[in-house]
Amino acid sequence: MGNKSLTERLDRIEQRSKGVSQRAYTRRLRELVAHLAKAADQPSPALALHRNGARTPLFQLECLARLHRATIDDDDFLPLHTSFKSLEDLLGAVDFADALVKRLSEANADSELRAYFIGRRAEACFQAERHLESGEWWPEKDQCPEALEDTLETIEESAWPGARKEKKAFAEYFEDCATSMQEKLEAGEYDFTELEAGVHEVRRKVRWLSILPAALDGLFVRPDEAPTSDPLAKYFTPAVLASPFNSFAPKKDVPDPIVVDSPSFLALSWFIAELGGHKDRGQTADALLTAARDLEDGPKAAAARVRKVLGDAAPTHKEIAATVEPIAKAFVKDGVLTRLAKSVGKSA
């Protein structure tokens, strides 16, 4: 690409783009590089990246790469998927430790546990920053970071379909993912007593259906109307209706978008948030118990220490499953994913 700056290269890709995919990448890459440039000079760059929201464009870039592995070329887009996921996972560890430090910074909190998680956070930051340095993620002036060079070459050189074929392929991919997940949940393939392989895994899989429309810059749209007379209206909580992640309006450069069923998409958002709350509660309890044992507490002392932080006894995985299973069964019975798949399938 000669001496072209990163901005010039991204501009060129956007100008030559055939559909939404290339533009979606360039917009997320601009966001990510801006985060990297801003964080580079901070005392803790990894902490700055997490706190300033760098995980959002990373999630969306990972989502795009997952999509294009399935619809364009697995070999070409697997390295992109792996690269974005690796960095996002490391920042996720920073996020988790930082959240516990903040929780333990409240008045009358456990200072010993707080010091423990400050150490965990420092280690997570070290691992992320070592990855950023060794992978050459840091931008210099307006040049492309080495870590993103392969990404740029891939999105510049891939055999992208025209807008019509792209729309059809992506609608079919979304429909297949939603239908497959509905079938797996109906078959009871997930054990919710397993926090990671059950609760967290289900949330991860359905969450991609929520991230994809936001990542594709106007290819998917959700009508604003969500009638309270709809059978799924019980899912329309104030938090769901107010979430900025549930709004993706039409754009002038995408005249023929995929229209998702609004009630089922809002119900999906509720389900993701609900699973997330139980997942976070379980992970927090597990981390606090592990920390207490590392601090050489016996079983009773560890349980008492965790109860003080949580305000209640640490939930067991079995107790979490007893709460999550009926939620998932009701969600499946309501056919939310089937309804969502059918609405998108109409655009295929």
When pLDDT is cut at 50, 70 and 90, the band that residue 136 belongs to is: very high
Mean residue pLDDT across the chain: 94
**Average confidence (pLDDT) over 272-296:** 96
If one compares 202 and 142, the residue with the highest pLDDT of the two is 202
pLDDT at 348 over 80: no
User: Region 11-39: what's the mean pLDDT?
Assistant: 94
Confidence of residue 282 (pLDDT cuts 50, 70, 90): very high
Residue 245: pLDDT band with limits 50, 70, 90 = confident
Weakest-pLDDT range from 78-87, 155-164, 201-210: 155-164
- Banded pLDDT at 217 (limits 50, 70, 90): confident
pLDDT band at 2 (very low <50, low <70, confident <90, very high): low
Tens-digit pLDDT profile for residues 161-170: 889 999 999 9
Q: What is the pLDDT of residue 120?
A: 98
Over 70: is that where the pLDDT of 232 sits? yes
Dihedral angle over CA of 178, 184, 186, 191, nearest 10: -130
